[in-house]
Structures are given as C-alpha cells and as structure tokens.
Structure 1
Amino acid sequence: MPWNLNGTYLESCNCDVVCPCTTSGLTAPADHERCQVTFAFHVDSGNVDGVDVSGRNVAVFVDAPRVMADGGWQVAVYLDASADDSQAAALGRVFCGEAGGPMAALTPLIGKVLGVERVPIEYRDDGRHHAARVGDVIDVEIEDQVAPQFGADGPVMHLTGMFHPANSTLAIARSSRARGGGVYGRSWDFSGGNGHSAPFAWSA
C-alpha cells in the first residue's frame, strides 16, 4: 500500500562543519575515527498502510566506519512513546527500511540493528534553531548558519545537490548542544560539531 510522510528533520554528527561524509555522498573519510550521527524527524502529516502517523517523532542513531560507504553501520531506532501500537509498527517499517523509500536505500549499508525502542521524543523547530530530546539518551540542539557578513537576520547557508535520505538541499548548521549517553554503550559530547536541517517529503 502506498505511504507518505512530510515533516522536518535535524541531524547532528561528530564531524567538523561542514561534514565531509555529506558533501562526498558518503565516500570521503569522516573527520574522526568513526562517523556517529543522530537523525531526528518530526512528521507533520503522514499515512502508512492506512495508519495516520501525523505529529509523531522518530530518531535514528548511526555508528559507522570512517568511510560510510564501506557499510557495516550499527543503527539504533527510537520511536515516539506517544505513538500507539499501530503507529509505532507503521513508523518502524518505514524507518527500518522495510516499507521502501529513502531508508530502504540505506539498508545495504547496515551491518547490525542495535535495537528498536519506544521512548519519549521531544522535537522543536524555532526559526534557525532545531532541537530534539530522545528519552534520556540523546539531547541535541543545532543552529542553522548565516554568513557573518549578513548579520543574524541574513539568509541561511545551504548545501544543494546532496545524496541524502532527507533532502537534496540541506541547511548548514552547528550544534550548540549534542550529547548522548547510554546508547548501547556509547556516550559522547559533540557540541560545536556539524549539523543539518531540512524539510522532508517521503513516499513509496
């Protein structure tokens, strides 16, 4: 059955700004020994197999080799605790790649699914600021970047023509807060690192 999701997303990783993984289509080495990235999604409107999933949130954490195109990703999926059983199952199919669409295109790169959990997820868009809190394990806030010559109210800088599951055009952002703890044995503080934000529109 056809499905569709529309909403906004944010991303935070341990690379410097701008991330070489993003700008190379996953073929350039990350800035550090491994690439660790959190994607958070807010679904403004969506229907999966007849189930309305509007207003729900999902987060995906990826721990990948330095060259992401090499595969062997370890992935954790977090589903919104406010979703009922049918919504959680529907979102799980999409974000685990079982229902086709952009996430399915990435499944050949995944070596291990660490787990799929239902946790409270708070997601916020506020102008150039975007934030997500995933249970008590991930806490991220990013700010879309403006060239200093234009001042605080200038246009946000973007990357275009990207190979990326969320959108081919991404805002360039920097994390003001990017912390994780207890993510299947992983803890970090990537504050000040790379970030992106964009609307997304998926269907299959």
Structure 2
Amino acid sequence: MASTASSDKSDRIATRSKISAKLDNPMRRKATPTDWAINGELILNCSCTVFCPCVVSLGAHPPTEGHCHAWMGIIIDDGHFEGEDLSGLNVGLLVDIPGRMGEGNWKVAAYVDDRASGKAYNGILQIFSGQAGGTTGLFTKLVSEIIGAERAPVVIERDGTKRRIIIENKIRGEIEMVTGKNNEEPVIVKNTKYWMGPDIIVAKGNKSRIRDYGRVWDFDGRSAEICPINWRGERKFSYDKNLKKIVQR
C-alpha cells in the first residue's frame, strides 16, 4: 500500500486545489529528469468510432471524429516519486484534443486519488504535466492548457475482461476487452512504438460518460484501450515534425 494511507491530515491538500497553484503555466514548463517510476495499467475510452488510429500511426493519423475526447485511468500497482511511495494509488484524466494527437494543443484535467499524501499529490501532478521528464515528458509539448487538478475518490476496478472507473459523478465508465478468433483471448496490438507501452489490448466502451469542466461526453460503444505500463523518469519521447509522429529518443 502507498505511504499515503498513514499520512496525517496536515499533509493533505484540499479538494479542488488547482494545478495552477502548484505548477508553471504549460507554455513555461520544461521537462526535468526526475527519479520516478510507475508500473501498472492504463485504461481509456475515447470518442473514436473504431479502434484508436493513434496506436499504429503514433499520433499522425487524425481521430475518426476529427477531435479526440477521452478519459484515462491509471492504476499504480507499484511506483514512487523522489522517494515517496505511490503504490496503490489511482489517477484519472479528462483529455480534450482538437485534432491529431501528435500536434498538441491538449486540454487536460487531473483527478488524483484522495488517499495521496501532499508529496505524492505534487509528484503525480509533476509526472502527468510532463514536468518530471521521462515517459510523460512529452506532455510539456502536447498539453497547452491544464484546466484543473483536484483530489477525488478515484475508483478503478479490474473485473476479468472489464475495467471500470468512477470519479464521483464526473467520470463514470466501463470498458471491455474485444476477443479474437479464440474467444478466451483478447485482441492485442503488440510490439508498437506507442508512447504508453508496446502492447495495447483492444477494447470498447460499454457505458461511459464525462460530466465536468463544461464537458458533456458519452462514449458508449466507442474505442477503448487497456495498456500495461512501465514508465520511468529517464525515458524520453518527443514529437518529430518531419515524421509527424511521437518517437522515443
């Protein structure tokens, strides 16, 4: 379990604390190599009507609807930030991308597990803003506006082939793996160069919605993904303007 469970109340940050009070404006952020790691699973559901074209195009192909609206959930099975334990915590993201993923201008809101200590909370915000460098360092280039960050009860459930996320009445979703010819095994896109991880399990949204920050989105039946993650502070990705895709350096 994370060290957050035993932290006292003085180490906690009030719900709805805004990221602007903790981090620089996105246009001024720079990725700085930091000692952090997250091992676990990322789940997401987006507005694409077929499986996410970003996985194989590395963000170069436009979303099926011309834009990408999505929620993401991150289960941290094991992790740390500068010596602070992050294990057992969950993170939710609201993501609003106006066009191709690799071209940036993302607007993002973060929901950090309300069990997190102050150090864990700030560390998670640095990781998911890109400021901590490494795997998520490309967010300093892709995210143009952080519309908010707050503590919340972020519940993520693993239930066989299904995954569920509940963040109060703001984000509620259930996704399910798509099975292949062998009905006992999911369809997996393997050995990719996708920034999230090389192996992506194809899924679809069952019931899914966002109701926060003025967004009213529904993703029932839309594209979804489940990705085992092994992220580190030293791994670096960037957007290659010539190749028009996200690459690892």
TM-score (norm 2): 0.76
Which of 73, 92, 100 in structure 1 is aligned with 2:106? 73
Cα drift, residue 65 of structure 1: 1.6
* Correspondence list, 1:119-198, <5 A: 119-147=152-180, 149-151=181-183, 154-182=184-212, 184-198=213-227
Which runs of 5 or more residues in structure 2 are unaligned? 1-33, 234-249
Q: Quick check: 1:5–1:203 contact (8 Å CA) kept in 2?
A: yes
TM-superposed deviation, 1:71: 1.5
Dislocated runs of 4+, deviation >2 Å: 160-166
Is the Cα contact below 8 Å between 1:7 and 1:45 reproduced in 2?
A: yes
* 1:113-170 superposed Cα distances (whole Å, 9 cap, x missing partner): 11111111001112211111123211111111112x433xx21111123343321110
Match of 2:116 in 1: 83
User: 1:15-63, CA deviations, whole angstroms, 9 ceiling, x for partnerless residues?
Assistant: 0231122231111111113211211101111111110111101112211
| 1:49-87 Cα deviation digits (max 9, x unpaired) | 110111101112211122222211111111111212121
1:51 to 66, 84, 106: 84
* Paired amino acid for 2:191: G
1:94 & 1:70 partners in 2: Cα distance?
A: 20
2:67 to 10, 16, 34: 34
Structure 1 stretches lacking a partner, 5+ long: none
Separation in structure 1 between the aligned mates of residue 112 and residue 206 of structure 2, nearest angstrom: 24
Amino acid in the other structure paired with 2:222? G
Query: 1:57 and 1:17 mapped to 2: Cα distance?
Result: 27
Q: Which residue does 1:94 correspond to in 2?
A: 127
Aligned-residue offset at 1:13: 0.3
Q: Between the two proteins, what is the percent identity of the paired residues?
A: 29
Letter in structure 2 aligned against 1:53 = L
- Per the normalisation by structure 1, the TM-score is 0.92
**Does residue 9 of the first structure (1) align with residue 38 of the second (2)?**
no
Amino acid at match of 2:196: A
Matched residue, 1:112: 145
Choose 1 or 2 for highest CA Rg. 2
Q: CA deviation at 1:107?
A: 2.2
C-alpha distance in structure 2 between counterparts of 1:114 and 1:124, whole Å: 26
Distance in structure 2 (CA, Å) of the matches to 1:70 and 1:6? 27
Contact 1:17 1:195 in 2 (8 A): no
- Deviation at residue 108 of structure 1 after TM alignment: 0.5
SS at match of 1:10: strand
Aligned pair count reads 200
CA contact (8 A) 1:62 1:76 kept: yes
Q: Quick one: distance in 2 between partners of 1:179 and 1:39?
A: 12
